[in-house]
Structure 1
């Protein structure tokens, strides 16, 4: 293992509280255990919910206005869910370039070999064995319009790391690229605790594998029988954060565990916990408002959101925020259908983002029947409370002399209005 990764292990095991980074579980053996923990564990709803959605609705999450897409899968695993997307893309284009990215090189190469046998030359596979940061750097050289998948992986990061990684992803996207993330939107505490502490112990074996790997690779002799396995669920529905699971093992007695490969002695007191993740928790759970806020803080915007029938998982399609005019449709706002990409498809098909002369300036008198929006509706439209608070600073440079925003009515389609705003994350001039 590289020295910087060893140092991250040392940092975690000497911190207060102690922890093993979640990524440490993902070698070849750990990746298989993770797959089994989702497939075999009957109480784990997330994998089944994702698959049930993709089986029936995969075509909805794929952009319809691009004929040749380059597929990217971050945290690809065995690509079982990705194959639904590949199959749909094969109906639209003769050949697909595919960049699977995974931290476990051995597992990645085995999964790539299986895909090569299934799809032959119609799928050009360019595997990248790396963590997210290094993988994204390598993806900057990938050609074509990128369609990026990040299924059920963001939720195992800290809040700041989620935002920062999304921001890194946005740096390799053009206005035509799309990112789709899948997230857990379950808030049922009983169902969540059962999923992560199942009777068969499938999830427990996966989380505790980090200790087994530590014993094998770094020479420690940490006896799992001297610990109890535990799960907590922390609910936080505030717009600017998320709920999460805490997985840990708790010492039954005082002990000292030398770890020769890391050159440290692990001193553990009775009742002390070692967490199987960095940060406050893992397997985060979200409301749609929380997802909107995270995405927007990263300089992205939601262009579509879909849920499975059981409302366990949400698939969220994202695009980069570009400087220029942003269109919205009053009928869509009032109807609450803010998660559809019908409006975006119309705007792109008509080329409205490139037509600067079709707007007619509006004032209060010219739109007497314009709908009045409640604060929750405004929060949805602007992607959350955070964005509402920031809106004036975003657009101050575009206010008229009377301090009001300048609204324009579309001449060609009079049910559309537009307002000019500047993203705080884009430095180029208007």
Structure 2
């Protein structure tokens, strides 16, 4: 998402520019890196309330504390709503979920070090405040109305629009946290194969990383409530788009699909204009009523790309979006899984062969089943646990082929597949036994 003053003001005069924008993300193999993003819930250790934006122990105080450690502020109407340092950034989700968008790094060892440094800095500031951060896919205690809202202009627009297109969009905004891996592609053909593999296997990742079994203090019947929320957020921009699996799919076809995703907003002069539900195609032609006669720029298109919430999102790289956030080891296991599958030719071909015959309908059916059933969901007569065993074997071979010793980061996923118990299953066992039915203990247990 563009920050004020950073947008590309190049006018869009031909639809081919949109495909070329994606193509410009292509990189030679030697330049491929990995970026990792993760979100986490803040909570006061005394009483488990969520920190507001202002006040002692508030999110603004945390941002200002990090500025003293070399982070530069990102402002929205004069309010600090994010930070930048080097190639990394920190941003706020709508209810103050604290997100690290890591730098593009050469390997998973660097990812692990970056995560450790980030958590150390956060702890140094929040410790004296009595604030902790928990890595769970869905908030285990609070109702939607108990969650605060951050002062970001675009969130006000989304807050109004979300209830008109789905029943759970505001839950997505305020009560979910994810971990995401960002990977490169070599060219259009490589992008297509990687996008198809990762969309097909995203439900498997959802099952492996399931970590959100509580809602408002009670078991909710799901292993991943976060994944369930996405099934009724806004179906015009979420899920597994069939277009990706059509013959001839590529940059141009994806750009065309995006033009039919309804808009959220446009930024002009540092302010967010409400364009929710309007047509980007009309904007291309100068027919957007909130900016009459003005045509879209490439910066507007880049912002619009970020409002497509597919399970894997194509930008100038690929974003793997299907996982609940979890422990520090699981945060690093997520990029390890996808690097192993997609950054070695033999592994990528093996992964493609594994899912080649799966239909879009089968993928979507599996996607619908895994929030509740996780590893016990089935596709083509096999459990996800069995499929995941094959997936991990491919990923491990892919990481070994890189020769960097990165396969060690798959260890927590190996344990999940071997035991058949997700993070969510283990939380439920603790809730029923050691915690005596107190779901608030999940926040302390999941603290990172």
TM band (smaller chain): under 0.3
Higher relative contact order (CA 8 A, sep 6+): 2
Structure-1-length-normalised TM-score: 0.25
Structure label with greater radius of gyration: 1
User: Which structure's residues are more often helix, by fraction?
Assistant: 2
